[in-house]
């Protein structure tokens, strides 16, 4: 299931801190991997919903970019 299980196994912290973002991304990866194993055409199911709207891809990319910047900042500032 991708690398989410490794992230959760190594970093399962539920603290009111920035480090919980890593745990949430790990669980998100596990859910995505399970969805791809259970329903192989998982992406194609949502393609008509999201594919018709390029804004969804841009917003998703911006959200992941911001999460990356936050993790980069706290990872090197701490």
Continuous H helices in the chain:
4-10, 20-38, 42-51, 54-77
Question: Which token pair is 9?
Answer: 């196994």
The Cα 53–Cα 61 span in angstroms is 14
Is the separation of the CB atoms in 44 and 13 below 8 Å?
no
User: pLDDT averaged over the chain?
Assistant: 85
Q: Which domain holds residue 51?
A: 4-77
* 11/46: higher pLDDT: 11
Contact predicate 39/45, CB 8 Å: yes
In this predicted structure, the answer to whether residue 17 has a pLDDT above a threshold of 60 is yes
Q: Are 23 and 12 in contact (CB under 8 A)?
A: yes
Record the pTM: 0.77
How many structural domains compose the chain? 1
């Amino acid at each position: 299931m991708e690398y989410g299980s490794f992230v959760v196994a190594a970093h399962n912290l539920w603290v009111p801190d920035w480090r919980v973002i890593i745990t949430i991304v790990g669980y998100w990866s596990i859910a995505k991997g399970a969805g791809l194993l259970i329903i192989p055409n998982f992406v194609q199911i949502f393609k008509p919903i999201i594919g018709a709207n390029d804004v969804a891809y841009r917003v998703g990319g911006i959200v992941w970019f911001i999460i990356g910047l936050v993790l980069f900042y706290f990872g090197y500032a701490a």
